[in-house]
Structure 1
C-alpha cells in the first residue's frame, strides 16, 4: 500500500547573503505579508511570514549564488514512506541540513533537485533554517 503524502505547512527560501536584506524588505515592506517571527524569542530568529496558510521562512545562506526553495511534505507512516521513496529512486539528502534530535523526518530531493523535508503528519515541524 502506498503511504499518504500531503503538503506540509513550511516553505523555506534559502537566500544568498548579498540579496538577503532586499528580499526581506520585499516580503516585509513591499508585499507587507503578515510577519510570524516571534518577537519575544532570544537570539537571532529566522524571519517567517504567512503565505496563504503556509509559513514562508527566509534563511540567509552565505556561499550560495541563487535562491532555493525547500518544501515540506508530511506522511502518515515515515518508515513506509522512506522505503517507498527509495524504491522510486528518490535521493536521500540527510547531509543537507541537520535536524533536531528526536525529530522524525528526513530530507530528499526531487528529480529537479528541489529539497523536501519529509516528516510525520502528527509531528510539529521544526524551524527550517
Structure 2
C-alpha cells in the first residue's frame, strides 16, 4: 500500500509555522528580553513578566520565562492540514509524541513532538498564523 501512504503524506502538508518559542530560565529572562528589545531593536509586539513577543522577520519570536528550566531551549511551530494524518505519519516515521511537555489549550487541534536531536515542535493543525 505505498500509494495510500503517499496520498496520506501529501494530505499532511507540513509547513513551517509563524511562531518560535524560546524557553528562557527565569534568572536570564529580563536580560534576554532586553537583548532583543534594546540591543537588536526588534519590534516588541506584547510583553509581561512571563512572556514577551517580538517581530522576527515574517515570524513571531516568543520569549517565555520558565523558572523550571536551567538552560534556554528553542521550540518550533510546524503546521499541518490534518492533525490525525500528521500523527499517523510521524508515528510511522518513528517520531514519538510528548504531549506532557506543556499543556495545550482546551480544544487545541495539535500536539507536541521532539525531533531526533531533542528540539520540541508544536504540530498545529490551525494554520501558520496562530499566535
TM-score (norm 1): 0.87
CA contact under 8 A between 1:15 and 1:68: conserved in structure 2?
yes
In 1, Cα distance between equivalents of 2:106 and 2:130: 13
User: Which one has a larger percent helix, Structure 1 or Structure 2?
Assistant: 2
Q: Counterparts of 1:1-129 in structure 2 under 5 Å?
A: 1=7, 2=9, 3-37=12-46, 46-122=51-127, 125=130
Runs (5+) with no aligned partner, structure 1: none
By how many angstroms is 1:20 displaced?
Answer: 1.0
Runs (5+) with no aligned partner, structure 2: 1-6
CA RMSD of aligned residues (A): 1.8
CA 1:123–1:30: 2 relative to 1, 3 Å: closer
Structure ID, larger Rg? 2
In 1, Cα distance between equivalents of 2:41 and 2:13: 35
CA contact under 8 A between 2:77 and 2:121: conserved in structure 1?
yes
CA contact under 8 A between 1:16 and 1:64: conserved in structure 2?
yes
